[in-house]
Amino acid sequence: MGAIASLEDSDLLGALRPADRDLLVPFLEDVEYAAGQVLYCPGDLVEFCYFPRGGAICSFFVEMDGNELVETLLVGREGALGGVVSQGSLPSFARASVLHRGRFWRIGTERLGEVKRLSPAIAHLFARYADCVMAQVFQSTACNAVHTIEQRAARWLGTAIDRIGRNDVTMTQEQLASMMGIGRSYASRVLQRFKRDGILRTRRGGISVLDRAALDARACRCNDAIRAHFDAVLAGVYPPEG
């Protein structure tokens, strides 16, 4: 019973009924990763699926020309990485790495496939989550094309602290710039503007949000659109705002 209850720190797994969780529990491995840990690189066979727990966050990055990495998707306790959204150990297109340290549930993709075949409810939940992943990618593409760097930075910080569960993100200015696909000088100027207006403060290797309402006022409404889609497709799984 304790193992089943502990699945509640993954919102995606917590949405399952106890009988369906019982099918997963024997195959779940409790692992912990530090920030910067690479889970898989482009071309790697995806042998495991990972479910972030609590404040753990991962990012998907696409490698561009000149070895530049650009973030395309942020995944926290509402979601998963790996074979949940595919049908087996397929090659990875993007790089997946840990952004904010924490614990994860890990399961082999072959085992996950077996469980999905045994439980239509599990297969259905993960199929719905795959739809939500596509919604995030679509919205992110549109956001990057239309919204200002300030709006995008405010949106990204809001997304991160919603998933972590506190107003502090372990990240440097260089990492934020890389996440957003912009130059470090642009990221620095935006953060300085936010600091001047009392919205946040920076420390070595971290950013703390002081005024969430003011941060949200600077952000675009892309997070609202994604949250609304999650609520329609996977009610209660997307992290609550603030």
Structure confidence at residue 99 (pLDDT): 87
94 token code pair: 């993007």
Indicate the pLDDT class of residue 87, thresholds 50, 70 and 90. Answer: low
Flag whether 61 is in a domain: yes
Looking at the structure, do residues 116 and 172 belong to the same domain, yes or no?
A: no
**Tell me, what CATH number does 172's domain have?**
1.10.10.10
CA 196 from centre of chain: 29
- pTM comes to 0.86
Residue with tokens 């935006």: 190
How, if at all, do strands 168-169 and 102-108 pair? Answer: unpaired
Domain with 194 in it: 144-230
Regarding whether 148 and 98 lie in a shared domain, the answer is no
- Residue 192's pLDDT is what? 93
pLDDT surpassing 60 at residue 4: no
Q: Are residues 201 and 102 in the same domain?
A: no
Contact between 127 and 82 under an 8 Å Cβ cutoff? The reply is no
Report yes or no on 108 lying in a domain. Answer: yes
- 93-125 tens-digit pLDDT: 888 999 889 999 999 999 999 999 999 889 889
Nearest to 100 by CA among 51, 55, 47: 55
Q: For residues 55 and 92, state if they share a domain.
A: yes
Assigned domain for 223 exists: yes
Q: Can you give the pLDDT at residue 154?
A: 94
| Residue ending a domain, choose from 80, 106, 121 | 121
Residues 157 and 113 in one domain: no
Residue 89 has pLDDT above 80, yes or no: no
| Average pLDDT rounded to a whole number, residues 59-72 | 78
CA dist list (Å): 171 to 28, 134, 148, 168: 29, 26, 21, 9
How high is the pLDDT of residue 167? 87
- Residue 181 located in a structural domain: yes
